Chains A and B, each alone.
Chain A
Amino acid sequence: MNKTLETRLHDSLVEIIRKTSAELPDDVFKAIEEGRQAEQAGSSAAYAMNIICDNVDIAKRKSQPLCQDTGTVLFYIHFPMKTDYEKLQKLIKKAVVTATKKGYLRQNSVDSITGKNSGNNIGPGAPVIHAEPWKKDHFEIKLMLKGGGCENVGAQYSLPDSRVGAGRDLKGVEKCILDAVQNAQGKGCGPGILGVAVGGDRGTGYSASKEQFLRKLGDRNRNPELSALEERITREANELGIGPMGFGGKTTLLATKITALNRVPASFFVSVSYMCWAFRRQGAKVSNKGEIQKWLY
């Protein structure tokens, strides 16, 4: 990489972080707006949804973090084959440090043994970088900022699970997911969005469940069975009446996204990741000269 490319790529990465932290993607805002309209005027659920919408406006206008917890920083990247990957990794970290200095990210990364905050969001496992080369000659850089409160209410089930009455089939999967929604109430800042992976091992299951958040909320699952399950779960969760913040109301979930991974015969995991309303993800097509060409969400 030459110096100009490095500088441009760094600046583009910082801009992606800024936009992700301060602006809700259109597909998410649309779902929130629909949720707001579904709530009865004058109810505390509508009150909460109105405050959420105001918050989205102010954050965008001021270019300030939507929520003070700027979360775990997760990159999902495709890069041209000829890219120097080590350099790219360094640039990503440098951009995270810059974004922290500029206040787009809070100092949010703590050494798990000593309790010391690194102050710049860099440390073992931070930021999280998933990167793969591809044959195209541009970069695709996606970013997710996942808050701690909603991460804490994620859950993994090993089927069969007698506590929730779940056997090793799609009905069992459905029961686990609804159980996770019930347990998340009042925590994790709902209305929420679910990412689910059926199968895999414990690690790949959680990873894949999180990657579901890269899908647009309005898209359709290509697997008709999973597509139907996604819609059913969102509908059933909203019938629970948990509502925004757990105040009671119609909007408990904005969407459910499910994928399936192969599993070994002995295991059957259902991994559920929960995303709060402050659903921060963005992405950009970045040219091989390091310039942002197009926003992806």
Chain B
Amino acid sequence: MAVLEREGGAIQLTAPFTEEKVRSLKVGDMVEITGLLLTGRDAVHKWLHDGNEPSVKEVDLKNSIIYHCGPVMMKKGKNWVATAAGPTTSIREEPYQAGIIEKFGLKAVIGKGGMGEKTREACQKFGCVYLHAVGGAAQVLAERIRAVEGVYGLETFGSPEAIWKLRVEKFPVVVTIDAHGNSLHKEVEASSSSKLGEIVGKIGK
């Protein structure tokens, strides 16, 4: 097992992740990521799934981390700055995600709301994790983006849908699907559902 470095309760990880590090994470772990993330949402997932990939080597999906996010970007002089960069709902990419994890060897997918069975299985098989960012925390997350290092498909996909290359520092997430077949979403759903059964039983007819 890889030794995980912690700071204030959160595991510190530098991207790109090694498979060993990915496999040492478990659901419920709090993680802060430093390194590169690539954004991708609906249009990009469909496009990648259709067999396309970025034609420039600056934007390389191999072993990367995809962030389900449509950031609000502003151009300041020559540089892009993210003014809001919260996660978007991940489940929409469920039909595509597993194939993309396999093809590019993604090490992590970041989003919100969790993903389904196909993605959970792909995480286990190919050594990937699903990381949950805090929904709505657009300002905190934008502050952790230290630089926008490039963009691909700005014309084709438009700003929110383009692949943005973001350099982040201490980007906070929680592991909710690990590489061992566990899903926090499934666990919480099961426990809350049985609790609900109890409460409804008590309410009675």
Q: Give me the interface of A with B, judged by CB distance under 8 Å.
A: 42, 44, 47-48, 51-52, 54-55, 58-59, 62, 64-69, 103, 106, 147, 149, 164-165, 167, 171, 174-175, 178-179, 182, 185-187, 189, 236, 239-248, 276-278
Contacts across chains A and B counted by CB atoms under 8 Å: 133
Contact B187 A240 (CB under 8 A): no
Contact A240 B185 (CB under 8 A): no
A-B contact pairs, 22 of them (CB 8 A): A44-B29, A47-B174, A54-B140, A55-B134, A58-B139, A64-B139, A65-B138, A65-B139, A66-B138, A67-B86, A67-B138, A68-B85, A185-B192, A186-B185, A240-B196, A241-B188, A242-B188, A245-B132, A246-B113, A246-B188, A247-B132, A247-B188
Contact A51 B172 (CB under 8 A): yes
B-chain residues with CB within 8 Å of residue A186 when the two chains form the complex? 113-114, 185, 188-189
Which of A69, A147, A167 has the most CB atoms of chain B within a 10 A radius of its CB?
Answer: A69
| Contact of B205 with A by CB under 8 A | yes
B-chain residues with CB within 8 Å of residue A59 when the two chains form the complex? 138-139
A-chain residues with CB within 8 Å of residue B174 when the two chains form the complex? 44, 47-48, 245, 247
Contact B137 A149 (CB under 8 A): no
Contact B138 A167 (CB under 8 A): no
- Complex Cα spacing A66 to B137, Å: 7
B48-83 CB contacts (< 8 Å) to partner A: 71-72, 83
Min CB–CB distance A115 → chain B (angstroms): 12
- Complex Cα spacing A73 to B77, Å: 32
Which listed residue (A189, A240, A242) contacts B112, Cβ 8 A?
A: A189
Min CB–CB distance B162 → chain A (angstroms): 15
Q: In the complex, which residue of chain B has the Cβ closest to the Cβ of A165? A: B200
B-chain residues with CB within 8 Å of residue A277 when the two chains form the complex? 136
Contact A236 B199 (CB under 8 A): yes
Contact A247 B136 (CB under 8 A): no
- Complex Cα spacing A42 to B30, Å: 9
Given contacts A51-B140, A51-B172, A65-B84, list 16 more A-B pairs with CB under 8 A.
A54-B137, A58-B139, A59-B138, A64-B139, A68-B86, A69-B136, A103-B83, A175-B200, A185-B188, A240-B199, A241-B192, A246-B185, A247-B184, A247-B188, A248-B188, A276-B136
Q: How many residues does chain B have at the interface if contact means C-beta atoms less than 8 Å apart? A: 42
Given known A68-B85, A185-B188, A248-B188, contact A278–B195 (CB-CB < 8 A): no
B175-190 CB contacts (< 8 Å) to partner A: 176, 184-185, 187-189
A-chain residues with CB within 8 Å of residue B132 when the two chains form the complex? 245, 247
- Complex Cα spacing A167 to B172, Å: 44
A-chain residues with CB within 8 Å of residue B176 when the two chains form the complex? 247
A-chain residues with CB within 8 Å of residue B203 when the two chains form the complex? 171, 174-175
Min CB–CB distance A140 → chain B (angstroms): 28
B79-105 CB contacts (< 8 Å) to partner A: 83-86, 89
| Contact of B156 with A by CB under 8 A | no
Contact A64 B188 (CB under 8 A): no
Contact A44 B85 (CB under 8 A): no
Contact flags (1/0) for B6-17 with A, using CB distance below 8 Å?
A: 000110000000
| Contact of B18 with A by CB under 8 A | no
Min CB–CB distance B143 → chain A (angstroms): 6
Contact flags (1/0) for B161-175 with A, using CB distance below 8 Å?
A: 000000000001010
Q: Which 8 A-B pairs have the closest CB atoms?
A: A68-B84, A189-B135, A67-B136, A58-B139, A240-B192, A68-B138, A55-B137, A278-B136
Contact B72 A106 (CB under 8 A): yes
Min CB–CB distance A268 → chain B (angstroms): 16
Q: In the complex, which residue of chain B has the Cβ closest to the Cβ of A248? A: B188
Which of A52, A68, A187, A189 has the most CB atoms of chain B within a 10 A radius of its CB?
Answer: A68
